[in-house]
């Protein structure tokens, strides 16, 4: 049984808490939030202990924690990941890993020194429609990839604690908060690009819209993300991947394969019972989060290091996102 202490009981903490309730090998034993009511709400159904000071949670030996789950605003990831590692706890850290490479290096060094595991919540690697794509590309089900387009659009996220999402110093703007999902998945699917060329809109909330061309040999890959959409615009994540024999398309709802020499067909994915997301934010299905956390709990239960997301791969996604920002700011292509 993996005993979990959760720090941060907002949108993502609520998702994670719901997932722990679905995993028999994990037990949520402690929840911390500056806002006691939020922590209490999540702790209740698990019979978990409530904290308003994360240091108290981390130093409560009676909890006998195996895993510290960090669902704090992004700027706080480094401080609490370092504390958790130094105390010998395995870590699940929400994405983005960090906002700069030095912090990622410090965390990686601390986890290696303490010999603890860390996984970053790059949940798209576990999202069923994206898992389908990864497998199809790996197995060359429809031949080689010739081009790919990924998109992630949202109204301005105004639900964060103290509006931290709209403070680029704390969230990194849409580039780090949303777009990194697609950057990370593109790296996972196709490897590291040779270069990135990005254009974007920078406003008072940071990089609020970004479009990047990821340069590969003989391959055209584009990723676009914006959170500068009206409140009436529904959150949407989508992709289209052109392979030699078919186009695979996910429009945010339906996953459809369009073969060049046959009729199109909808792919029905088997999903576990994962309804019941968080009460705010933009995603209500637990699917990808369930797969992600279940995978990590299984790794920890079997004393194995996670392979689907490594700390180095999460750091590389931070590095490429930083290069994209540099490209927007300088107007030039950044060689990686
Ligand atoms: N994987 C995904 O799809 C996804 C989606 C949304 C957010 N996230 C990430 O999850 C993290 C959290 O985002 P969120 O949307 O849950 O934010 P949120 O604002 O909804 O929740 C943050 C919570 O942290 C609490 N908090 C702040 N400082 C604290 C401290 N020092 N000690 C204890 N509690 C503290 C706040 O009170 C709040 O309840 C971010 O890194 C974000 O990028 C990931």
Specify the ligand 1 atom closest to the Cα of 280: 20
Residue where one domain finishes, among candidates 107, 122, 137:
122
**Number of domain units in the chain:** 2
Residues 182 and 192 in one domain: yes
Range of weakest confidence among 108-122, 167-181, 277-291: 277-291
C-alpha span between 298 and 12 (Å, rounded): 21
Q: Are residues 213 and 314 in the same domain?
A: yes
Tell me, yes or no, whether 152 and 275 share the same domain.
yes
- 310 and 256 co-located in one domain: yes
Look at residues 122, 147, 178 and tell me which one is the last residue of a structural domain.
Answer: 122
- pLDDT (mean) for 40-62: 98
Domain of residue 78, CATH code:
3.40.50.720
Q: What CATH number corresponds to the domain at position 147?
A: 3.30.360.10
Best residue among 51, 72, 122, 158 to mutate for probing ligand 1, ranked by most atoms within 8 Å of CB: 72
**305, 177 contact by CB (below 8 A):** no
The model's confidence at residue 286, banded by pLDDT at 50, 70 and 90, is confident
pLDDT at 270: 75
Residues 187, 41 share a domain: no
Q: How many A from CA of 10 to the centre of ligand 1?
A: 5
- Kindly state whether residues 112 and 162 are assigned to the same domain: no
Based on the fold, state whether residues 62 and 160 are members of the same structural domain. no
Residues, the chain: 336
Let me know whether 217 and 271 are in one domain. Answer: yes
- CA proximity to 279, closest of 135, 159, 108: 159
| Ligand 1 geometric centre to CA of 147 (Å) | 34
Based on the domain organization, do 141 and 209 belong to the same domain? Answer: yes
Compute the distance between CA of residue 292 and CA of residue 296 in angstroms, rounded to an integer: 6
pLDDT of residue 279: 56
Give residue 77's pLDDT band: very low, low, confident or very high (50, 70, 90). very high
Same structural domain, 118 and 167: no
Is any ligand 1 atom within 6 A of the Cβ of residue 95? yes
**222 has a pLDDT exceeding 80:** yes
Residue to mutate, 15, 37, 71, ligand 1, most ligand atoms under 8 Å from C-beta: 71
- Same domain flag for 243 and 329: yes
Per-residue pLDDT band at 311 (split at 50, 70, 90): very high
| Whole-number pLDDT of residue 331 | 97
Phi, psi angles (nearest 5°) of residue 134: -60, -45
Which residues does residue 326 pair with via DSSP β-bridges, in sequence order? Answer: none
Q: Which residues contact 37 (CB under 8 A, 6 or more apart)?
A: none
- Domain final position from 65, 91, 122: 122
Instruction: Please state the φ and ψ torsions of residue 14, each to the nearest 5 degrees.
Output: -65, -40
Res. 277: pLDDT tops 60: no
Share of the chain above pLDDT 70, in %: 96
pLDDT band at 108, cuts 50/70/90? very high
Q: Indicate whether 281 pLDDT > 80.
A: no
H-type alpha helices, the chain: 11-20, 36-44, 54-59, 77-86, 101-114, 128-139, 168-171, 173-174, 180-190, 287-301, 311-330
Q: Please say whether the beta carbons of 274 and 288 come within 8 A.
A: no
If asked whether residues 19 and 152 sit together in one domain, one would say: no
Q: Which band of pLDDT confidence, cut at 50, 70 and 90, is reported for residue 273?
A: low
Domain of residue 101 covers 2-122
Taking only the tens place, the pLDDT of each residue in 9-35 is 999 999 999 999 999 999 999 999 999
Q: Is 42 in the pocket of ligand 1 (CB under 6 A)?
A: no
User: In terms of C-beta density within 10 A (0-12 exposed, 13-18 middle, 19 or more buried), how is residue 264 classed?
Assistant: exposed
Claim: this prediction has a pTM higher than 0.85: yes
Atom of ligand 1 nearest to the CA of 15: 16
């Amino acid at each position: 049984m993996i005993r979990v202490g959760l720090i941060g009981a907002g949108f993502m903490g609520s998702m994670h808490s719901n997932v722990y309730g679905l995993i028999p090998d994990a037990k949520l034993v402690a929840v911390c939030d500056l806002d006691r009511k939020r922590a209490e709400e999540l702790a209740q159904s698990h019979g978990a202990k409530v904290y308003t000071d994360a240091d108290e949670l981390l130093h409560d030996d009676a909890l006998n924690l195996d895993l510290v789950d960090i669902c704090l605003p992004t700027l706080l990831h480094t401080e609490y990941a370092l504390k958790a590692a130094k105390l010998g706890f395995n870590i699940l850290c929400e994405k983005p890993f960090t906002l700069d490479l030095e912090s990622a290096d410090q965390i990686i060094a601390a986890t290696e020194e303490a010999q603890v595991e860390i996984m970053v919540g790059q949940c798209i690697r576990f999202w069923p429609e994206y898992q389908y794509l990864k497998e199809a590309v790996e197995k060359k089900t429809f031949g080689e990839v010739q081009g790919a387009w990924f998109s992630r659009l949202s109204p301005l996220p105004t639900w964060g604690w103290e509006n931290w999402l709209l403070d680029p110093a704390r969230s990194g703007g849409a580039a780090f908060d949303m777009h990194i999902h697609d950057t990370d998945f593109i790296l996972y699917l196709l490897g590291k690009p040779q270069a990135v060329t990005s254009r974007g809109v920078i406003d008072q909330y940071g990089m609020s819209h970004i479009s990047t061309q990821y340069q590969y040999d003989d391959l055209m890959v584009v990723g676009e993300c914006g959170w500068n959409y009206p409140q009436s615009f529904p959150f949407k994540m989508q992709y289209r991947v052109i392979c030699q024999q078919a186009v695979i398309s996910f429009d945010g709802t339906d996953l459809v394969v369009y073969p060049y020499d046959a009729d199109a067909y909808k792919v029905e994915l088997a999903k576990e019972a994962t309804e019941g997301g968080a009460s705010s934010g933009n995603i209500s299905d637990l699917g990808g989060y369930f797969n992600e956390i279940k995978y990590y709990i299984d790794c920890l239960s079997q004393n194995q290091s996670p392979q689907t997301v490594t700390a180095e791969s999460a750091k590389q996604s931070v590095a490429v996102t930083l290069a994209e920002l540099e490209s927007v700011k300088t107007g030039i292509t950044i060689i990686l």
